[in-house]
Amino acid sequence: MPDVQTLVNEFLFKLKKRKIEGSHATARQTTILLRSVISQQRIPYTHQAAALIDAVKAVGEQLVAANPVELAVGNIVRRVLHIIREEDLSPTTVAIAGLNVSAVSDDEGDTDHDDHPVLSAAAVAAASRNTLRPPSLQTLLEDLPDSAAVPHTSSSGGDSEGKSKSADKSSRSRRLKHDVIEAVNELIEDIDTCHEQIAEQAVEHIHQNEVILTLGSSRTVLEFLCAAKEKKRSFRVFVAEGAPRYQGHLLAKELVARGLQTTLIADSAVFAMISRVNMVIVGAHAVMANGGVIAPVGLNMVALAAQRHAVPFVVLAGSHKLCPLYPHNPEVLLNELRSPSELLDFGEFSDCMDFGSGTGSPLLHVVNPTFDYVPPKLVSLFITDTGGHNPSYVYRLIADYYSTDDLVLQRKPAPVN
């Protein structure tokens, strides 16, 4: 599809040149792009899911390669793959599990999907999990009514795909794509509303006369704090400026505009001030499978200070930031070094450096990393749009959103012979 290809190329270009900033924007655009890819993908009668998966993987591989540090891209690609797999399994699983949801009822049931889409996805997910795992007590007990329920759900290809197969195929092909696109739409909606859902939980965590510390700027944190302010909680915020990008200034400006008592401090004063702070609330760039956080630079220092003073370190992250990968050497592999000009002006040290000296290797190195890794033991709580979780629970959330087959996005090369 030339259309899709141009879209993909445009997006690749934007990723490579880092024109898109922030995991939220990246995730959203990736999802929209993949939706276009899916909708314009022609799929054969058999093995539709495989075809879709292949197509998405092909595009996804390129996207991830364009900006490997932006983990949200990979996350979304894997989410979509998981959705495809789940939607593929859904006709069979619904029958087996005997759920009383007629969401996947037949033929003209397209409109029915709209009635309870959320339920279908969750139910389908649960059902697929039940089938894929070894039988547990629950499934054993549910088997009995299943066999009775099978005749009720008339069509929707049962375990024996015999008679209804031919009738279903055409409808199923339509349905699979449709379902997938439905689910991807939900995903987009989730990404859009993640801030509100996280902010709803603000009232449980912020009470009266609290002092909150944050570093840099995160839209999630801003919404979180403002939601608490709406509910008439009184608190003060210390914002550390977050050199060298100084996004703390922007956050401070926003908070002051919304009427919060804000104090702007330098990053070096974090240890000095943290003894008077009740809670540290920060955003994240990505949350890894072990519960570790890839966060803007400087947050490891804040986390260590918080641990020293027994101050809770709370990380706000939308579910699109949850990455199923385990961080190996994250400071190097999942980090980006930015331009040294943010720290030193070009040529500022040219007068004292002797470029004529023998070895030729530069005397001055300037290091300007973008991200910091915060190990899971320093994090007290993750607040996502699904609620609050411990770092040790993160691996279960991953099972909700991702399939194990998708962890490696590279397709196997075609056999040579």
295 DSSP assignment = E
Binding footprint of other proteins, residue count (CB under 8 A): 60
Q: What CA–CA distance (Å, rounded) separates 276 from 399?
A: 39
Helix (H) or strand (E) holding 147: helix 137-149
The yes or no reply on residue 310 touching other proteins (CB under 8 A) is no
The yes or no reply on residue 39 touching other proteins (CB under 8 A) is no
The yes or no reply on residue 261 touching other proteins (CB under 8 A) is yes
The yes or no reply on residue 97 touching other proteins (CB under 8 A) is no
Minimum CB separation from other proteins for residue 267, in Å?
5
- Output the CA–CA distances (angstroms, integers) from residue 365 to 316, 339, 343, in the order listed: 34, 11, 11
Q: What CA–CA distance (Å, rounded) separates 204 from 208?
A: 11
Q: Which of 267, 286, 319, 382 binds other proteins (CB under 8 A)?
A: 267
Q: Which of 363, 377, 399, 411 binds other proteins (CB under 8 A)?
A: 363
Q: Which of 16, 308, 377, 411 binds other proteins (CB under 8 A)?
A: 308
Both tokens assigned to 387: 């609620």
Minimum CB separation from other proteins for residue 242, in Å?
7
Minimum CB separation from other proteins for residue 373, in Å?
8
Find all residues with CB under 8 Å of 381, minimum gap 6, and list them: 312, 313, 314, 315, 388, 389, 390
User: Which CB atom, from 70 or from 241, has the smaller least distance to other proteins?
Assistant: 241
Q: Is 103 exposed, middle or buried (0-12, 13-18, 19+ CB in 10 A)?
A: buried
Binding segment (CB under 8 A) for other proteins, from list 29-37, 47-55, 102-110, 257-265: 257-265
Q: Which of 34, 71, 252, 284 binds other proteins (CB under 8 A)?
A: 252
- Per-position DSSP letters for 165-200, written without gaps between them: HHHHHHHHHHHHHHHHHHHHHHHHHHHHHHHHHHHH
Minimum CB separation from other proteins for residue 322, in Å?
23
Q: What CA–CA distance (Å, rounded) separates 293 from 384?
A: 13
The yes or no reply on residue 7 touching other proteins (CB under 8 A) is no
The yes or no reply on residue 298 touching other proteins (CB under 8 A) is yes
> What type of residue sits at position 219?
R
Q: What CA–CA distance (Å, rounded) separates 101 from 162?
A: 23
The yes or no reply on residue 249 touching other proteins (CB under 8 A) is yes
Residues lying near other proteins in the complex (CB under 8 A) are found at 241-244, 246, 249-250, 252-253, 255-257, 259-273, 275-276, 297-298, 300-301, 304-305, 308, 331, 335, 343-354, 357, 363-369, 372-373
